[in-house]
Amino acid sequence: MRKHILLFGTLGLAISAFSLTGCGKKGKSDTYDKDGNLIINLRNLYFSDYTGGGEYLKRLEKKFQVSLTFENYQDENWQAQVTSQIKGGDLPDVFHSNVTNYNFVNTYKKWAKENVTKALPEDLSKWPHLKHVLDNTTNIDALKVNGRLYGIPIAKNTSDFSIKFSQFTYLYRRDWAKKWGVYQENDEYTWPQFEALLDKFVQNLDVNKNQYALGDVEWGFPSITNFYKDVPHCYAYDSVQDKYVCNYTTDEYISGLMASKEFSDKGRYYPSQNTLNTGDMRKEFIQGRIGVFYENISYANYWAIREGIKDRFKGNITTEDLDDCTAIMKVRGPDGKYAIEGIDNWYSMTLFDKKISDTKLEKVLDILDWLLDEEGTKLAVYGIEGYDYLEDPVTHEIELIPESWYDSNGNPIDKKNGANYVRYLVTLGNDTLSINPSTDWHISNYLDDWEAEMKEAYANNELRIFKERDEVMWLDTSLKSLYSETMRDGANTAAMQYTYGAIDLDTFKASFGYPWGDVLSEINSALGK
Amino acid sequence: MEKVLIKDRQSFKYSLKKKISSSRFLIFMIIPAIIYYAVFCYAPMYGVLLSFTYYTYDGGITGSILNNWVGFDNFVFIFKFPAFKQAVLNTLLIGSLKIIIAFLGAVTVALLINELRMRFFKKFVQITVTFPHFLSWVVVASLFLLLFDRTGVISHLIVAMGGKELKVFSDGKQFIGLLLASDVWKEAGWGSIIYIATMAGISTDLYEAADIDGASRLQKIWHITLPGIKSTAILLLIMSVGGVLSAGFDQIYNMTSQLNNRLVINSVQIIDTLIYSSTIASESLNEGVTTAIGLFKSLVGFVLVIVTDRIAKLCGERGII
Amino acid sequence: MKSNKLKRLPLLTRDKPGPSNRFGGFDVVLFIILLVYALLIIFPFYYLFVVSITPLDIYSETPFLIWTPVISFESYELVFTNKHIWNGLGITSILLFGGTAYQLFFTVITGYALSRKGWFGQNFVMNMIIVTMFFGGGLIPYYVLIRTLGMIDTIWVMIIPGAIDTFNMLLMRNYFASLPKELEESARIDGANDIQIFVKIFLPLSLPMLATIGLFFAVGNWNSWYNGMLFNHSQELKTLQQVLQQITANTNSMIPNPNPQKINSDSLKTAAIFFTIIPMMCFYPFLQRYFVKGIVVGAIKG
């Protein structure tokens, strides 16, 4: 073997070089562009139609002497992109990650502990507006690792934190209901009326044209179970035994599932829910092939759906007709109550690369804080004073300058306001809806009315909000973090298979063997049950 | 004894010098290859040590090895991990079905083309059927998804002919069928080439003798052509057994990534997609665990190669190692 | 992984085994079967093409689309003016020309060095190389290696790790080894040195084999997406195949469609697929014999 010294030497060198450089990289130094501006790169899901540049962003950049570069994550495999960037060690300075209770422990917390992401400064009083938003975020303590927050949860709404339920509900074709004589006053449907409506739709719709009565958004299937269950996903609380049990095998869930199957057997359900790509069901609804559609009707989504339908009719549709195509349906379940999934007012976070300097982090916080205050909000919402709007020095009333908002045909000008996009790092912009001149008030009021009505129903004990208990939702145990996601996916798969008749109820129940038992007993012992 | 050795060593040194100087150019040429294989093939073998650690970002490879050594925990874990067991079963099922069907497809196509006597048409068929081999799975996957989509033409065709509506995207078994069908579509033509070449090498004397005996064409295929390709077929078949654990990442990744396909994904989750989706694309399994899975796959593959090689030699065929 | 690692086959001796029966019913059946098979291969492409030129209203109303009464090339217009696609084509072109030359160079010199007998350590190197065909570290260590080398999010990651394709390198080696030894000896007598022997004698003689291997590399580079998918995250570095992946996953965000009434996303998808396979379709019929020759020769000499 002696004669192979050269070869072994090379091998050894390669291996040792590999092992030495395998050590973690130290911080990266701040870089400045040629004008001395600090370069910060941002990557976010919401930058998809914005790549940077523009007068508004320049103002912001000039004010803070920074140079911002934008990149967006593709919708389809957003979290995979984030994770593989982290694996590859080439993170943008500021990035956007999905943080749910399913990946909280093994993703968010792991990154925080293993020095991938950077904690916010302990004392946030330098940034009062940001602090205000964070302090008012629901369940913020759940996100703290060793008492520190490792990112900014992106708020859906900063003005009203009392909303604890989501906007996941049914839209329906009121015009069809009216045409076929199953319309109920004020879009209120009891369970039998709901079933009757669907059956009427089934009768009148043409399967050969791919028309179906009921369709759920891809992640929402089977929405019928919502009216039966107490918990959206895995861990239900059994008050009799005082411990956590598998939600999918509770009597409530099973009866919901059987109802779903009945709906499917009676031809009410869209038949191949499982072949859909993200956004497909929305397209089906826009194309007029779905009578009732379960969807997250946030302002942006609802607006997009209506725009889609407008497009389909090439603009030749009156607002009343459009309302009739996209009415919100208020369905009471078999127990006589509305049912809506509960939710926190955020579901994703803006995170910071551990390697960035404190200066850079503070700079970003400065920018975000300023964008949340009055002056910054004006830049983000209205634009530049004297060009986009005029402000009355005494009354502070805002007057828009029409030329910069509408073209000669009176159509609104599509502004790519960079300041607004940067603001998305903290809030989704719903907090500025009320002052945004481009807000469609018709939609906004309609959604507000629905929300007010649901709140009232909640006060009258007519709304059931189903949500996992916080103590188990954010519980940090090893088996739970390892299996929760696969358990949920497996359960959804089984539910789908059962609904479409691919498996029977016994097989469905049998699919909740290992690791459910281990995970649940771990949870119960961790919580002292 | 001692002296002889020293003498040997001296002569060895001499001949070594001579050998090196006479083949300087060749050694110079091989250096890039040595570096290449050292870096890209052998250095990752050091990384295999990760399978005995809990990998952390701040530790990196060396830090994890030094500080987070967990012994055989990861291996103990994966053998209890249901998703891994499922992935191994899926891999074996899909991998072996693919081997069998690819083999049958290639031999059938080869026989058909070999028997064909219209020269121009033969050329046309050969060019056509070998073409899909050169397309990427990105293309072939989107093509098949489009064809078998609910609104796609195949589904309509099947319903129009009175068949039951396909549930390709909701039924795992049917989806595996789609995997096999697209594999055959893409590779059968190309796989047939080697058999056609072998058939061309069968002595014509045999066929002439059979003609004199009045054998029919089917008889000739059965008694001459098939035995003629037997050893090639056995060799190819045995060799593909070593790759049974790579049941086609490219294909499955492309076929499933374009769909929100939870129903089917469980039935086509193979070892490679499990490693990718749980460590590269998400944080669900630690690097240590997936390295252990990868090591398991490599070792089993290696053993399969050795075993099939021995079997081949026992059967009187030439081995591959 | 190509599964065609055949070592030895009986030599190709004759043109054809000529069965002497006359053309009969058997041939007709054969003809029909193979015709159907060829049509099965062709039909998907035809269908793709039809979808790509069908306007939305006809597409959504015709369940079994065989031909479209109204032809619209708007989806092609959008695809041919899409910046992502051209960017992908640019990256793929770099791989196609730069990568292929690079791979060919290293594969050929390695094959040549291994084909010449008797240099120090040859068997050892050979064995070490063969082992890598059967055993590897797995994806995760490889990933960490690439990260350590700093190749993440660079174009190099799609080129450098492909320097030597072991299977093709062995093909090349066997081809060189099969060339008569007398060539080298007589050249040496004429006073040629090692470099001259390699460049002036062996390379010209192995041009057909070089062409074949080069073509295989070129096809591989044209179809490249795996390394890019694993290691690169920025849009500027996506290859054509990756862009195609993105388009099939979400057509609307990749190809903004100003006219959603007339164009459906399926026809955009199919037009994009066509964009990526047209070069192959144009060249393949003429190049097919090289590919076939490569695999047959490789199998026999192997």
HEC states along chain B? CHHHHHHHHHHHHHHHHHHHHHCHHHHHHHHHHHHHHHHHHHHHHHHHHHHHECCCCCCHHHHHHHHCECCCHHHHHHHHCHHHHHHHHHHHHHHHHHHHHHHHHHHHHHHHHHHCCCHHHHHHHHHHHHHHHHCCHHHHHHHHHHHHCCCCHHHHHHHHCCCCCCCCCCCHHHHHHHHHHHHHHHHHHHHHHHHHHHHHCCCHHHHHHHHHCCCCHHHHHHHHHHHHHHHHHHHHHHHHHCCCCCCCHHHHHHHHHCCCCHHHHHHHCCHHHHHHHHHHCCCCCCHHHHHHHHHHHHHHHHHHHHHHHHHHHHCCCCCCC
Distance from the Cα of A189 to chain B's closest Cα (Å) equals 31
Cα–Cα distance measured from residue A140 to residue A136, given in angstroms and rounded to the nearest whole number: 8
Please report the domains of chain B, with CATH numbers, ordered by start residue.
Answer: 1-44 (no CATH), 84-314 (1.10.3720.10)
Residue C124: pLDDT above 60? yes
Using the Cβ of C280 and the Cβ atoms of chain B, whether some distance falls under 8 Å is answered with yes
Closest to A342 measured CA to CA, from A254, A421, A435, A231:
A231
Of the pLDDT bands very low, low, confident and very high (cuts 50, 70, 90), residue B15 is: low
Please answer yes or no on whether B127 and C219 come within 8 Å at the CB atom.
Answer: no
**Tens digit of pLDDT for each residue in B146-204?**
888 766 778 777 777 877 777 777 778 888 999 999 999 999 999 998 899 888 888 88
Helix (H) or strand (E) holding A352: strand A346-352
pLDDT value for C264 = 79
3-state secondary structure of A20: helix
pLDDT value for B261 = 60
Beta strand ranges found along C97-240 (DSSP E)? none
Q: Is residue A120 within 8 Å of residue A152, measured between CB atoms?
A: yes
Give chain A positions within 8 Å (CB) of B61: 18-19, 22
Residue C19: pLDDT above 60? no
Q: The tokens of C189 are what?
A: 């007598």
pLDDT value for B29 = 87
Residue C18: pLDDT above 70? no
Residue C94 makes CB contacts below 8 A (sequence gap 6+) with: C155
Residue bearing tokens 């930058």: A47
Please answer yes or no on whether B185 and C109 come within 8 Å at the CB atom.
Answer: no
Query: Between these two residues, C198 and B5, which has the higher pLDDT value?
Result: C198
Cα–Cα distance measured from residue C137 to residue A246, given in angstroms and rounded to the nearest whole number: 39
Please answer yes or no on whether A88 and C148 come within 8 Å at the CB atom.
Answer: no
**Tens digit of pLDDT for each residue in A279-326?**
788 888 998 889 999 999 988 899 999 988 988 888 888 999 999 999
Amino acid identity of A434?
S
H helices present in A210-250, as ranges: none
**Tens digit of pLDDT for each residue in A34-45?**
888 899 989 988
Beta bridge partners, A214, equal: A269, A292
ipTM for the predicted complex: 0.86
Give chain C positions within 8 Å (CB) of B16: 120
Please answer yes or no on whether A277 and C147 come within 8 Å at the CB atom.
Answer: no
Residues 122 through 151 of chain C touching chain B, CB cutoff 8 Å: 125, 128-130, 132, 134-145, 148-149
Please answer yes or no on whether C121 and A277 come within 8 Å at the CB atom.
Answer: no
Beta bridge partners, A66, equal: A38
pLDDT value for B4 = 47
Q: Which of C13, C63, C222 sits opposite B156 (nearest CB)?
A: C63
State residue C135 phi and psi, 5-degree precision. Answer: -140, 135
Using the Cβ of B66 and the Cβ atoms of chain C, whether some distance falls under 8 Å is answered with no
Cα–Cα distance measured from residue A374 to residue A393, given in angstroms and rounded to the nearest whole number: 15
Please answer yes or no on whether C233 and A75 come within 8 Å at the CB atom.
Answer: no
User: Mean pLDDT throughout C241-246?
Assistant: 92
User: Mean pLDDT throughout C241-270?
Assistant: 82
Closest to B61 measured CA to CA, from B273, B287, B227, B223:
B287
DSSP symbols for A250-290: SHHHHHHHHHHHHHHHTT-B-TTGGGPPTTHHHHHHHTT-E
Q: What is the DSSP letter of A408?
A: T
Q: The tokens of B263 are what?
A: 């129903």
Out of A242-246, C168-172, C193-197, pick the least confident: C193-197
Buried residues in A198-221 as b, exposed as e (16+ CB within 10 A):
bebbbeebeeeebbbbbbbbbebb
Q: What's the sign of the alpha-carbon dihedral A285, A291, A296, A302?
A: positive
pLDDT value for A84 = 87
Cα–Cα distance measured from residue A514 to residue A505, given in angstroms and rounded to the nearest whole number: 18
Of the pLDDT bands very low, low, confident and very high (cuts 50, 70, 90), residue C8 is: very low
Q: What's the sign of the alpha-carbon dihedral B32, B36, B42, B47?
A: positive
Out of A57-61, A192-196, A212-216, A272-276, pick the least confident: A272-276
Using the Cβ of A4 and the Cβ atoms of chain B, whether some distance falls under 8 Å is answered with no
Q: The tokens of B96 are what?
A: 């072996």
DSSP symbols for C4-26: ----------SS-----PPS-HH
Of the pLDDT bands very low, low, confident and very high (cuts 50, 70, 90), residue A403 is: confident
Cα–Cα distance measured from residue A183 to residue A194, given in angstroms and rounded to the nearest whole number: 10
Give chain A positions within 8 Å (CB) of B145: none
Give chain B positions within 8 Å (CB) of A83: 280-283
Cα–Cα distance measured from residue A292 to residue A173, given in angstroms and rounded to the nearest whole number: 7
Cα–Cα distance measured from residue C129 to residue C108, given in angstroms and rounded to the nearest whole number: 15
Please answer yes or no on whether C147 and A88 come within 8 Å at the CB atom.
Answer: yes
CATH topology of domain C83-254: MetI-like fold (1.10.3720)
Q: What is the DSSP letter of A69?
A: E
pLDDT value for B159 = 77
Of the pLDDT bands very low, low, confident and very high (cuts 50, 70, 90), residue C15 is: very low
User: Mean pLDDT throughout A191-211?
Assistant: 90
Q: Which of B46, B59, B263 sits opposite A15 (nearest CB)?
A: B46
Residue A88: pLDDT above 60? yes
Q: The tokens of A353 are what?
A: 């690369």
Residue bearing tokens 């499922």: B86
User: Mean pLDDT throughout C122-129?
Assistant: 88
Residue C294 makes CB contacts below 8 A (sequence gap 6+) with: C171, C209, C212, C213, C215, C216
Q: The tokens of C225 are what?
A: 């997406």
Beta pairing class for A94-98 and A144-145: unpaired
State residue C164 phi and psi, 5-degree precision. Answer: -125, 125
Other beta carbons less than 10 A from residue C11's beta carbon = 10
Using the Cβ of A220 and the Cβ atoms of chain B, whether some distance falls under 8 Å is answered with no
Q: Residue count of chain C, please give it.
A: 302
Cα–Cα distance measured from residue C110 to residue B31, given in angstroms and rounded to the nearest whole number: 9
Please answer yes or no on whether B280 and C139 come within 8 Å at the CB atom.
Answer: yes
Closest to C51 measured CA to CA, from C295, C270, C215, C280:
C270
CA distances, A471 to each of A485, B71, C45, C146 (Å): 18, 34, 56, 41
Buried residues in A257-272 as b, exposed as e (16+ CB within 10 A):
bbbbbebbeebbbbbb
Residue C2: pLDDT above 60? no
Q: The tokens of A527 are what?
A: 């919580």
Q: The tokens of C59 are what?
A: 């597409």
Q: The tokens of B76 are what?
A: 């103990």
User: Mean pLDDT throughout B37-51?
Assistant: 89
CA distances, A453 to each of A448, A456, A458, A460, B36 (Å): 8, 5, 9, 11, 69
Size of interface B-C (CB pairs under 8 A): 297
Amino acid identity of C31?
F
pLDDT value for C17 = 46
pLDDT value for C14 = 42
Query: Between these two residues, B136 and C180, which has the higher pLDDT value?
Result: B136
Buried residues in A394-408 as b, exposed as e (16+ CB within 10 A):
eeeebeebeeebeee
Residues 174 through 213 of chain B touching chain C, CB cutoff 8 Å: 185, 189, 191, 193-194, 197-204, 207-208, 211
Give chain A positions within 8 Å (CB) of B281: 77, 79-80, 83-84
Cα–Cα distance measured from residue C10 to residue C95, given in angstroms and rounded to the nearest whole number: 37
CA distances, C108 to each of A415, A440, A474, C100, C112 (Å): 56, 66, 58, 12, 6
Residue A29: pLDDT above 80? no
**Tens digit of pLDDT for each residue in A431-446?**
788 788 888 889 989 9
Residue A15: pLDDT above 60? no
Out of A445-449, B156-160, B211-215, pick the least confident: B156-160
Residue B112: pLDDT above 60? yes
Distance from the Cα of A160 to chain B's closest Cα (Å) equals 33
Of the pLDDT bands very low, low, confident and very high (cuts 50, 70, 90), residue B46 is: confident
pLDDT value for A362 = 93
Query: Between these two residues, B23 and A151, which has the higher pLDDT value?
Result: A151
Please report the domains of chain A, with CATH numbers, ordered by start residue.
Answer: 38-161+346-432 (3.40.190.10), 168-341+446-526 (3.40.190.10)
Helix (H) or strand (E) holding A198: helix A191-204
Q: Is residue A333 within 8 Å of residue A170, measured between CB atoms?
A: no
CA distances, A329 to each of A263, A291, A295, A338, A339 (Å): 18, 11, 11, 11, 12
Buried residues in A92-107 as b, exposed as e (16+ CB within 10 A):
bbbbbbbbbbbbbbbb
Cα–Cα distance measured from residue B280 to residue B282, given in angstroms and rounded to the nearest whole number: 6
Return the ∠ at Cα A209 (arms to A207 and A213), rounded to 5°: 50
Predicted TM-score (pTM) of the model is 0.85
Residue B290: pLDDT above 90? yes
pLDDT value for A18 = 52
Residue B100: pLDDT above 70? yes
Q: Is residue B86 within 8 Å of residue B171, measured between CB atoms?
A: no
